């Protein structure tokens, strides 16, 4: 399957941008770039560079194709064509990552099935025979199925279980659940099942966040957890999981929508715990949420948490036994426009509506430890004002203040509520 790659011609000597093609092989984790044109003189040689470094591995016998491993990073490529007469032309092209869980003209970046059991069968989603996930492509399948589902609450009472550590470095992560385009309460598709990490890790998740469509955006490993009922069977849950080196970064040069009635939520595990949802026995390490210190102006509301962005407690929640090391570097150079602009930032939970309905199967937040680097607010003209928190996030938090110095204090002290 061929797709035209983004190409910038640096020397106009007969070849054009249409002469470089890209072909993705998601199953084998590679992308091939080829320079194909009848205008290439016979006997020409080809030299390939990636990020200004010469590359010799993965070159075809003709030299006209380079095959590279998939990555979640944007890189720059160059091919220099030298004719037998020693004339040269260099073409520059951009190596852009693709997003997990997405179809690209029928070439899909997710697995065809979940991991099979030894007898060759697939799980049925029961507690006794959960759907098994052993690699990044199978996890991306879950994202694809939820995001393209027929119901708002997908996989209610269905069980999923990790069987191996998972590395997400081959592409940009697509949250499990609708991330953008939420205009009303009935919009979107969200995870309502049970996700058991079984003590395994998910590493190198990279999300490039944007906000360009309708009222709400939710960015995290899961966009929202939205269980059907306040009981063990119908709770949505994520448990027994390690998340390492996760990044939620603003897409470069993107300007978010500017509307005081709109909201962006971000959390490493989940952006929004909507209702009947559980987070338990989770470790987050070496992770970061950032806007890349870019300058922009917005009056959109932001709810940003190192664990979850928002506790939207319509019915009940269960939150316990979580350790999080998430650096949050947001709004260092950005500005909030007008009195409507709000940003709530916490190394744990960005904001909460209320926890008054904690009944039935619910568990009040407890045993929550958060380690974060202290960030100096560089906006001297926008002083940070402390205000009363919206809800109780955790019993205790662990915050790092300077090298080698750990201090325990209440969550209220660690949460920044900016109203400018």
Q: Please tell me the predicted confidence (pLDDT) of residue 395.
A: 27
Q: How many CB atoms lie within 10 A of CB 410?
A: 14
**Tell me: the pLDDT tens digits for 36-86?**
888 898 999 999 999 999 999 999 999 999 999 999 999 999 999 999 999
CA proximity to 379, closest of 334, 344, 339:
334
Q: Please tell me the predicted confidence (pLDDT) of residue 14.
A: 72
DSSP reduced 3-state for 145: helix
Q: Please tell me the predicted confidence (pLDDT) of residue 19.
A: 86
**Residue 36: alpha-carbon gap to chain centroid:** 35
Give the mean pLDDT of the chain.
83
Residue 20 has φ and ψ, to the nearest 5°, of -110, 125
Those residues whose C-beta lies under 8 Å from the C-beta of residue 323, and which sit 6 or more positions away, are 282, 283, 284, 368, 369, 370, 371
**Tell me: the pLDDT tens digits for 180-202?**
877 776 788 999 999 999 999 99
Q: Please tell me the predicted confidence (pLDDT) of residue 298.
A: 85
Those residues whose C-beta lies under 8 Å from the C-beta of residue 275, and which sit 6 or more positions away, are 226, 227, 312, 313, 314, 315, 316, 317
**Tell me: the pLDDT tens digits for 215-243?**
888 999 999 999 999 899 999 999 999 99
DSSP reduced 3-state for 17: helix
Q: What percent of the chain has pLDDT over 90?
A: 60
Q: Please tell me the predicted confidence (pLDDT) of residue 6.
A: 39
Q: Please tell me the predicted confidence (pLDDT) of residue 13.
A: 54
Query: How buried is 313 (Cβ within 10 angstroms: 0-12 exposed, 13-18 middle, 19+ buried)?
Result: buried
Q: Which two tokens stand for residue 231?
A: 């009981």
**Tell me: the pLDDT tens digits for 393-406?**
332 232 332 222 22
Compute the Cα dihedral for 122, 127, 133, 138 and give only its sign. positive
CA distance 346 to 391: 12
Those residues whose C-beta lies under 8 Å from the C-beta of residue 7, and which sit 6 or more positions away, are 17, 20, 91, 92, 93, 94
CA proximity to 394, closest of 361, 359, 349, 357:
349
Residue 416: which pLDDT band, with cuts at 50, 70 and 90? very low
Q: What is the mean pLDDT of residues 292-296?
A: 88
- Look-up of token digits 């590359």: 55
Q: Please tell me the predicted confidence (pLDDT) of residue 384.
A: 31
Q: Which two tokens stand for residue 335?
A: 């500005």
CA proximity to 414, closest of 324, 291, 353:
324
Q: How far is CA 323 from CA 150, 194, 213, 347, in A?
A: 35, 20, 33, 10
Residue 122: which pLDDT band, with cuts at 50, 70 and 90? very high
CA distance 50 to 40: 21
Q: Please tell me the predicted confidence (pLDDT) of residue 411.
A: 33
Q: Please tell me the predicted confidence (pLDDT) of residue 404.
A: 26
């Amino acid at each position: 399957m061929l797709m035209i790659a983004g190409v910038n011609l640096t020397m106009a000597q007969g070849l054009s941008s249409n002469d470089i093609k890209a072909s993705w092989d998601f199953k084998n984790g590679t992308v091939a770039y080829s320079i194909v044109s009848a205008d290439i003189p016979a006997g020409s040689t080809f030299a390939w560079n990636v990020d200004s470094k010469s590359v010799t591995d993965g070159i075809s016998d003709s030299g006209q194709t380079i095959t590279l491993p998939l990555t979640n990073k944007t890189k720059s490529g160059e091919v220099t064509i030298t004719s037998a007469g020693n004339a040269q032309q260099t073409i520059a092209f951009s190596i852009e990552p693709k997003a997990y869980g997405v179809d690209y003209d029928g070439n899909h970046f997710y697995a065809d099935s979940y991991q099979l059991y030894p007898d060759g069968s697939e799980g049925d989603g029961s507690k006794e025979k959960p759907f098994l996930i052993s690699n990044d492509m199978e996890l991306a399948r879950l994202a694809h199925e939820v995001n393209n589902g027929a119901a708002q609450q997908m996989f209610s009472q269905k069980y999923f279980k990790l069987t191996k550590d998972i590395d997400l470095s081959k592409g940009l992560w697509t949250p499990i659940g609708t991330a953008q385009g939420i205009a009303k309460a009935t919009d979107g598709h969200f995870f309502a099942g049970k996700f058991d990490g079984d003590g395994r890790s998910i590493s190198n998740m990279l999300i490039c966040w944007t906000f360009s469509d309708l009222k709400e955006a939710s960015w995290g490993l899961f966009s929202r957890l939205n269980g059907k009922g306040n009981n063990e069977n119908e709770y949505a849950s994520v448990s027994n999981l390690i998340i390492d080196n996760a990044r939620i970064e603003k897409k470069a040069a993107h300007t978010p929508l500017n509307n005081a009635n709109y909201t962006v939520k971000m959390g490493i595990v989940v952006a929004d715990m909507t209702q009947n949802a559980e987070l338990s026995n989770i470790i987050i390490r070496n992770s970061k949420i950032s806007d890349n210190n870019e300058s922009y102006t917005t009056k959109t509301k932001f709810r940003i948490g190192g664990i979850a962005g928002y506790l939207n407690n319509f019915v009940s929640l269960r939150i316990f036994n979580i350790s999080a090391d998430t650096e949050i570097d947001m709004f260092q150079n950005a500005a909030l426009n007008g009195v409507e602009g709000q940003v709530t930032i916490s190394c744990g939970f960005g904001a909460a509506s209320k926890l008054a309905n904690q009944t039935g199967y619910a568990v009040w937040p407890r045993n929550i430890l958060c380690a974060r680097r202290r960030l100096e607010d560089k906006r001297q003209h926008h002083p940070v004002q402390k205000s009363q928190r919206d809800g109780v996030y955790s019993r205790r938090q662990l915050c790092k203040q300077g090298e080698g110095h750990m201090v325990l204090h209440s969550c209220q002290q660690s949460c920044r509520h900016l109203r400018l």
